[in-house]
């Protein structure tokens, strides 16, 4: 009897606890997502004459030459953008974390702070800052090159197809490197000291300690960091917007999914500025699907390795 | 938890107070006899000037007050559309020329002004055209125009003994001499993309394609978009490359402006709207008309309609709004505009007015003895994908960086337009 009464009241009480979060989630996440997906099946620019067109926007996105060329070029650039982040940001993060983990390191707090500070700045600020530093006429970077007598003084870092995307990815990696560092430091901190002691007794080299003890044990964190990097990079927009404007100059070589979406769905093409909301929603929905698949893949890889 | 509740209540009360406060104000305004109209605009820089113009209007029309409420320029199109869709649009507003404005009119957001008294006598047909639909309906009155030309540093020209170049080959030899003397000949750059197109390509185009008549020949399908005149135009763009600042691929519009303003560059292709930024540089400067192809007798200027003034089709005060628009087109209004408009924004009515700023006057005087036309892409080529605007921009950047030849740029223009623009499909 007692159990029955408790059981009766419980369903309501747990529901009450999640109700606020659920409401916020439904209103600010689920509903916009749903309405955006709905919009991707519509055409027309304003409330009055939106018409249902089925999968037309998707078909056009992938078959109409102007759109599909831009879309796939943006997609390729996003993949490169992501690859550079994975390589530079996370490898550096791992390196920094291993160095900073050493509690006897002098000025450890200081290094930790410098590494993390860029992540606290607005990307628009760092974007403009680096744009100034890299300016071929008065930028600090090229002035230094000039002082060193380099032939590449006045090199247009942000105006050369093939170079600009790498430069922007590096700037963005520089900004965010503090996040994986922080994650890895806390993961490394959770590894029990006995394991290190055992390794020391068996005479393992630092590299052996890293590959056989540290890496396997922080693999779940590597998975989380990879997922975060992936989601952030496929949603990236601001760093390219700040440094290369909405077209992804030069010659669309830095045009990523975020800027492509902004151009099609929100701002419209300069100077006409008439956005195609349905097409924008279709681009966003495709990105959403790509994100789901990607996150599932990353989880699959890292979780599997974790179990092995 | 308690604290959070309190904070939430506080926030709620602030919001509701805000809502009621604005409600009160609105009812107070409409309660009085004075009619208050709101004016939308993309000219954030011109608040003081426009408020002066509007104050002059209220002096003679005490019953009508107009509030100038501009939006950040890049957000104007999107913001205005949202406002109009949700019924909170301004009563009077700046209207973009051609496709962007026409779209709003066709969607039913702008009043038909075709029968506005004085419209056809105050403004020439050419000036009204940018805010006119294909079937001849006017949805805005012409308000301001901008002109295009070449700014030059008179001190450098004097030092090197140079005179103003008339033809393109003169221009290139001037560039050569300037470069030899260690100055940057032309300040323009590619970093922002739009500028090379709007202030260089569109600036040169009327001279190379033969002004309005030439443009109509292309736009109406009498000439293909890759004929030798267009190739020559792209060739001219390509010939600029050695004379641009080092690293021009990554310099921005503001950098170019600064290179000219600091006296490092001798010449700068730009529009009249920039006049004000050079008002306190420490050298003598002027403007000259863009150089024409060698041997060409008739010279042209790119004089572009920038802003029209339109009325919201669902405004509560259509009569008062019309009174204001009529006033803008009256001799009295035209003079007030000429005196108060920001430097380099020229009034578009037929009424002759006196412009005081010397540089603005110099800029406007370039029109004398030359024929005028608008920026090539605007009237017909903006809609469609790929738009003529983008093709011209990609072509300009392509030839300046040497990625494509002038012939290829012209061919791309023709082929791209042929995908959607019927007159281009004849070729």
Q: State the best of A137, A138, A244, A259 to mutate against chain B, taking most chain B CBs within 10 Å.
A: A137
Q: Is the pLDDT of residue B25 over 50?
A: no
What is chain A's alpha carbon radius of gyration, rounded to the nearest angstrom?
A: 24
Q: For the segment B184-210, what is each residue's pLDDT rounded down to a tens digit?
A: 999 999 999 999 999 999 999 999 999
Contact A267 B245 (CB under 8 A): no
Q: For the segment B296-355, what is each residue's pLDDT rounded down to a tens digit?
A: 999 999 999 999 999 999 999 999 999 999 999 999 998 899 888 888 899 898 888 888
What does the alpha-carbon distance between residue B155 and residue B177 come to, in Å, rounded to a whole number?
14
Contact A250 B397 (CB under 8 A): yes
Q: Is the pLDDT of residue B12 over 60?
A: no
Q: Which chain B positions have a beta carbon within 8 Å of A156's beta carbon?
A: 247-251
What does the alpha-carbon distance between residue B320 and residue B327 come to, in Å, rounded to a whole number?
11
Which helix (H) or strand (E) element contains residue A37? helix A31-39
Q: Is B193 touching A (CB cutoff 8 A)? A: yes
Spell out a b/e string for B413-426, using b for 16 or more CB atoms within 10 Å of the CB, else e: bbebbbebbebbee
Nearest to A136 among B99, B103, B246 (CB): B246
B35-41 and B64-70 beta bridge pairing: parallel
pTM of the model: 0.88
Interface of B with A in 42-81 (CB under 8 A): 74, 77-78, 81
Q: Is A134 touching B (CB cutoff 8 A)? A: yes
Between B324 and B107, residue with greater pLDDT: B324
Nearest to A158 among B250, B259, B390 (CB): B250
Q: Is the pLDDT of residue A62 over 90?
A: yes
Q: Is B166 touching A (CB cutoff 8 A)? A: no
Q: Is A7 touching B (CB cutoff 8 A)? A: no
| 3 state SS of A8 | helix
Complex-level ipTM: 0.88
Q: Is the pLDDT of residue B388 over 80?
A: yes
Q: For the segment B67-92, what is each residue's pLDDT rounded down to a tens digit?
A: 999 998 777 887 898 899 889 999 99
Which structure tokens are listed for A280?
């924008």
* pLDDT cut 90: percent of chain B above it: 77
Q: What rounded mean pLDDT belongs to chain B? A: 90
Q: For the segment A225-247, what is each residue's pLDDT rounded down to a tens digit?
A: 999 999 999 999 999 999 998 89
Q: Which residues contact B101 (CB under 8 A, 6 or more apart)?
A: B95, B110, B130, B131, B139, B140, B308, B310
The pLDDT value given to residue B353 = 83
The pLDDT value given to residue A302 = 80
Contact B230, B205 (CB under 8 A): no
Q: For the segment B263-289, what is each residue's pLDDT rounded down to a tens digit?
A: 999 999 999 999 989 989 999 999 999
Q: Is the pLDDT of residue B23 over 70?
A: no
- The alpha carbon dihedral of A72, A73, A78, A83 has a sign of positive
With DSSP H G I counted as helix, E B as strand and the rest as coil, what are the percentages for chain B, rounded to 5?
A: 50, 15, 35
Contact A250 B401 (CB under 8 A): yes
Contact B250 A136 (CB under 8 A): yes
Which structure tokens are listed for A229?
């990097």
Burial of A196 (0-12, 13-18, 19+ CB in 10 A): middle
What confidence tier does A272 reach under pLDDT thresholds 50, 70, 90?
Answer: confident
Q: How far is CA B268 from CA B113, B149, B258, in A?
A: 39, 9, 10
B141-153 and B346-347 beta bridge pairing: antiparallel
Interface of A with B in 44-103 (CB under 8 A): 45-48, 64-67
Q: For the segment A104-154, what is each residue's pLDDT rounded down to a tens digit?
A: 888 998 999 999 999 999 988 999 999 999 999 999 999 999 899 887 788
- The alpha carbon dihedral of B419, B421, B424, B427 has a sign of positive
B285-288 and B265-271 beta bridge pairing: unpaired
Q: Is the pLDDT of residue A2 over 80?
A: no
Question: Residue range A20-41: average pLDDT?
Answer: 93
Please tell me the distance in Å from A40's CA to the nearest CA on chain B.
19
């Amino acid at each position: 009897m007692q159990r029955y009464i408790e059981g009766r009241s419980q369903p309501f009480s747990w529901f009450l606890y999640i109700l606020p979060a659920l409401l916020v989630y439904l209103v600010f996440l689920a509903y916009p997502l749903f309405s955006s997906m709905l919009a991707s099946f519509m055409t027309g620019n304003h409330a009055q004459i939106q018409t249902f067109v089925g999968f037309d926007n998707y078909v056009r996105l992938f078959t109409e030459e102007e759109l599909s060329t831009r879309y796939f070029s943006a997609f390729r650039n996003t993949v490169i953008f992501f690859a550079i982040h994975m390589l530079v940001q996370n490898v550096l993060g791992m390196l920094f974390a291993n160095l900073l983990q050493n509690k006897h390191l002098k000025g450890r707090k200081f290094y930790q702070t410098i590494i993390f500070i860029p992540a606290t700045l607005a990307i628009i600020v760092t974007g403009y800052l680096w744009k100034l530093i890299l300016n071929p006429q008065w930028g600090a970077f090229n002035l230094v090159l000039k002082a060193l007598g380099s032939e590449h003084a006045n090199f247009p870092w942000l105006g050369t197809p093939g170079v600009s995307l790498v430069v922007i990815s590096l700037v963005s990696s520089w900004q965010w490197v503090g996040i994986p560092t922080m994650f890895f430091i806390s993961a490394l901190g959770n590894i029990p000291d006995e394991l290190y002691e055992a390794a020391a007794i068996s005479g393992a080299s630092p590299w052996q300690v890293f590959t056989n003890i540290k890496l396997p044990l922080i693999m779940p964190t590597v998975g989380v960091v990879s997922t975060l990097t992936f989601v952030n990079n496929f949603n990236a927009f601001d760093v390219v917007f700040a440094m290369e404007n909405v077209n992804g100059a030069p010659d669309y070589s830095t045009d990523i999914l975020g800027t492509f979406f902004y151009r099609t769905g929100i701002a419209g093409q300069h100077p006409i500025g008439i956005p195609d909301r349905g097409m924008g929603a279709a681009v966003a929905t495709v990105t959403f699907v790509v994100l789901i698949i990607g996150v599932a893949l990353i989880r699959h890889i890292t979780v599997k390795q974790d179990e092995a | 938890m308690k604290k959070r509740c309190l904070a939430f209540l506080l926030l709620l009360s602030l919001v509701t107070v805000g809502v009621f406060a604005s409600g009160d104000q609105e009812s107070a305004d409409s309660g009085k006899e004075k009619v208050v109209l709101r004016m939308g605009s993309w000219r954030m820089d011109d608040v003081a000037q426009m408020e002066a113009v509007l104050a002059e209007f209220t002096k003679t029309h005490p019953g009508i007050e107009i509030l100038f409420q501009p939006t950040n320029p890049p957000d104007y199109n999107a913001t205005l559309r949202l406002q109009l869709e949700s019924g909170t649009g301004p009563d009077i507003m700046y209207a973009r020329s051609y496709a962007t404005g026409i779209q709003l009119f066709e969607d039913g957001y702008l009043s038909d002004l075709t029968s506005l008294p004085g419209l056809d006598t105050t403004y020439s047909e050419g000036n009204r055209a940018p805010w006119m639909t294909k079937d001849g309906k006017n949805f805005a009155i012409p308000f301001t125009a901008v002109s295009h030309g070449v700014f030059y540093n008179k001190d450098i020209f004097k030092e090197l003994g140079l005179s103003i170049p008339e033809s393109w080959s003169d221009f290139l030899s001037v560039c050569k001499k300037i470069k030899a003397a260690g100055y940057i000949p032309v300040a323009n750059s590619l970093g922002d993309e739009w500028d090379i197109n709007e202030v260089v390509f569109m600036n040169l185009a009327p001279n190379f394609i033969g002004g309005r008549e030439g443009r109509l020949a292309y736009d109406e399908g009498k000439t293909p978009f890759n004929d030798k005149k267009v190739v020559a135009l792209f060739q001219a763009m390509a010939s600029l490359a050695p004379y641009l600042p080092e690293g021009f691929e990554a310099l921005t519009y503001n950098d170019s402006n600064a290179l000219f303003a600091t006296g490092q560059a001798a010449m700068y292709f730009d529009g009249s709207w920039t006049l004000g930024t050079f008002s306190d540089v420490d050298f003598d400067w002027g403007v000259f008309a863009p150089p024409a192809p060698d041997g060409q007798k008739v010279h042209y200027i790119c004089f572009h309609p920038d802003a029209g003034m339109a009325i919201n089709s669902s405004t509560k005060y259509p009569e008062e709004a019309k009174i204001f628009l009529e006033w803008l087109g009256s001799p009295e209004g035209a003079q007030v505009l000429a005196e108060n408009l920001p430097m380099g924004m020229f009034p578009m009515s037929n009424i002759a007015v006196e412009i005081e700023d010397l540089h603005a006057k110099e800029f406007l005087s370039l029109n004398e003895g030359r024929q005028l036309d608008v920026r090539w892409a605007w009237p017909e080529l903006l809609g469609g994908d790929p738009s003529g605007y983008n093709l011209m921009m990609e072509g300009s950047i392509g030839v300046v960086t040497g990625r494509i030849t002038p012939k290829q740029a012209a061919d791309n223009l023709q082929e791209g337009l042929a995908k959607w623009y019927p007159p281009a499909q004849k070729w």
